[in-house]
Amino acid sequence: SQAAQVAGVNKAIERVEAPAGSEDATLMMARVQQHQGQASYMVFGTQLAAGHHNEKFDFDEQVVPQR
């Protein structure tokens, strides 16, 4: 996979059969694919100050690979 070739990527999963993440994201991806488009969903691991949907939620943008 292309992701596995990126420096700093420790693990790349090609395909997940069950929906993952937000229902909104998987619904949007399905709609794009129905129109012959390509879609992907990425998860970057990092320490969090608080959980999702919390005013203190923040993540380290440095975990996102740069070109």
User: In this predicted structure, what is the pLDDT of residue 32?
Assistant: 93
User: How many whole angstroms separate alpha carbon 29 and alpha carbon 46?
Assistant: 24
User: How many whole angstroms separate alpha carbon 8 and alpha carbon 64?
Assistant: 10
User: In this predicted structure, what is the pLDDT of residue 20?
Assistant: 57
User: In this predicted structure, what is the pLDDT of residue 17?
Assistant: 63
User: How many whole angstroms separate alpha carbon 30 and alpha carbon 24?
Assistant: 10
Each residue's pLDDT tens digit, 1-27: 677 788 888 887 776 665 555 668 888
Each residue's pLDDT tens digit, 28-41: 888 999 999 998 87
User: In this predicted structure, what is the pLDDT of residue 33?
Assistant: 93
**The model's pTM:** 0.41
User: How many whole angstroms separate alpha carbon 50 and alpha carbon 59?
Assistant: 9
